[in-house]
A and B are shown apart, each in its own frame.
Chain A
Amino acid sequence: MLEVRHIETFYGNIRALKNVSLSINEGEIVTLIGANGAGKSTTLMSICGVTPPRHGEILFRGEPIQALSAEKIVTLGICQVPEGRHIFPQMSVLENLEMGAYLRHDKAAIKSDIDEVFGRFPILEKRRQQAGGTLSGGEQQMLAISRALLARPALLLLDEPSLGLAPLIIKQIFEIIKKINDESNTTVFLVEQNANQALKIADRGYVMENGAITLEDRAENLLANDQVKKAYLGI
């Protein structure tokens, strides 16, 4: 479904991604793990067209997208929940959800999708008129994921959704991700530092170091890999 081929992304003169290639098949959960500053977020932003790669190509369903604008890429069905959640702070919970459906015009379906979100997360319904910036971290993460789902993405990119959350909430978030993948057949590309949990729900995984992919394998193999165990699982 998504083919990243030899991309290199720069910030000014700094090369943040070095010859990165990876692929994601329809229906999979693929995870990308790596230490701080490895280039995980940059990979997602490159796919989304926010920091387009200088070299290489990105194919989505066979079509090159690396030169498309960010909004065009959203139209194709690729949505990202960025690191740090990026809730619109002065917009209400409801408005935040509506922004997720910005490119859709099927009002009735949007409304029923929002009702579905409220069914899944009653806390969001309770806070529907509250400013997004005043929600707790866990609530914001649920809102951020729900907002992305309102675009009805085919491919959902998640950047460290467990960041800064309590263990119980983290467990819940991973369950939700699994459920999204199962129920609506949404393909998921999951960036995580919480390697253990991420690899448990993933089909396959990539390990990134200093802007380059150093390992790729089935998730269960990575969980058993000594190198991964030592560096990312703390075993």
Chain B
Amino acid sequence: MDFQYLFELLCGGIVKGSIYALIALGYTMVYGIIQLINFAHGEVYMIGAFVAFIVAGVMTLSGYSGLTVLLLAAVVAVIYSAAYGYTLEKIAYRPLRNAPRLSPLISAIGASIFLMNYVQLAQTPDFLPFPELVPEFEFMAPIERYLSSADLVILIVTTLTMAALTVLIKYTRIGKAMRATQQDLVMARLVGINVDRVISATFIIGSVLAAIAGVLIASRTGQINAAIGFVAGIKAFTAAVLGGIGNVPGAVLGGLVLGIAETLGAGYISSAYEDVFAFALLVLILILRPAGLLGKAVKQKV
């Protein structure tokens, strides 16, 4: 057995999986609080990538390069996506808060299609080349076979982001309010938590994570188009279900498992079937462990 090859695949899988995890967190956090699958989440990620593309393009033209551009593009992308996520909830979901469960779900699908087409019309349906912003670090040369410089940046950023999220959920006032709302919505209101504000905050945080993921993936794959949100969204949703939807550590685990499974499948069997492995894994988990890897009692809600 070629262990070097296996290790190479594992590294690739972890990098990919950590990005899935970042997007999956947005699905899982929203679901945890309002039991809604926010199908438009993938589009928020795509918008993040597009905004970063535009900022990076302008900055590159004005002579900047490298990590400075990446950082600034990411910051602008995060702000844009957060605004989109916040607005999306206000317009597409809040008016349906007390409607039958199917209504917000359909609204989510509608919002997803709308945003994708909107970007397609406003920008272009074609693939656009995303500039290479991460320089080749010299110290990465010896292990470049396993991990490129861009991969290293991805791992560092995702790790830091998840650590920040953990601290936010565990220790801050809004984080505690989010947990309380997730665990008992009526009681949350009775202790004086403004549940609407908590829901808005959840959408904003999820969108920030998605935007970061969008910038990272765009700078790794080197190209974007208006449809990338669809595939990434479905993959990340798969990851969230895999880990147990509504469960925050589960989303991270699900993302990593999915990323690794895909890369191993592609590396050992055929890269043409990458997506097939992802969804086969989803079906398998749903049969064997319907609540997901870390999911507990199944709540009977759509």
Contact = CB atoms under 8 A, between A and B. Distances in A.
A90 interface: yes
Contacts of B14: none
Nearest to B194: A71
B186 A99 contact: no
A88 B186 contact: no
Interface residues of B, number: 15
Contacts of B90: none
Given A88-B179, A99-B176, A82 B189 contact: no
A95 B192 contact: no
A40 interface: no
A82 B179 contact: no
Interface string A69-94: 11100110001101000111111000
Interface in B172-209: 173, 176-177, 179-180, 183-184, 186-187, 189-194
A86 B192 CA distance: 14
* Chain A CB within 10 A, most for which of B183, B184, B192, B194: B192
A52 B191 CA distance: 17
A99 B191 contact: yes
Interface in A89-128: 89-91, 95, 98-100, 102-103
A151 interface: yes
A75 B251 CA distance: 36
A69 B190 CA distance: 10
A91 B180 contact: yes
Contacts of A70: 189-190, 192
A48 B189 CA distance: 9
Task: Give chain A's interface secondary structure class.
Answer: loop
A82 B192 contact: no
Interface in A14-59: 48-50
Nearest to B183: A88
Contact of B192 (A87, A88, A90, A151): A151
B191 A74 contact: yes
B194 A82 contact: no
Chain A, interface residues (CB within 8 Å), range: 20 to 34
Given A71-B194, A74-B191, A75-B192, A102 B186 contact: no
B194 A102 contact: no
A102 B179 contact: no
Contacts of A151: 191-192
A49 B189 CA distance: 9
A41 to B, nearest CB: 11
A74 B192 contact: yes
A91 B189 contact: no
A102 B184 contact: no
Nearest to B187: A86
Contact of B190 (A74, A90, A95): A74
Nearest to A103: B192
Interface string B9-46: 00000000000000000000000000000000000000
A86 B180 contact: no
B46 to A, nearest CB: 33
Contacts of A99: 176, 180, 191
B122 to A, nearest CB: 38
Given A91-B176, A102-B180, 18 more contacts: A48-B189, A50-B186, A50-B190, A71-B194, A74-B192, A82-B186, A86-B186, A87-B184, A88-B183, A88-B184, A89-B184, A90-B183, A91-B179, A95-B176, A99-B180, A102-B191, A102-B193, A147-B191
11 contacts: A48-B190, A50-B186, A50-B190, A82-B187, A87-B187, A88-B183, A90-B183, A100-B191, A103-B191, A147-B191, A151-B192
Q: Nearest 8 A-B pairs (CB), nearest first?
A: A74-B192, A86-B187, A70-B189, A103-B192, A71-B192, A88-B183, A102-B191, A71-B194
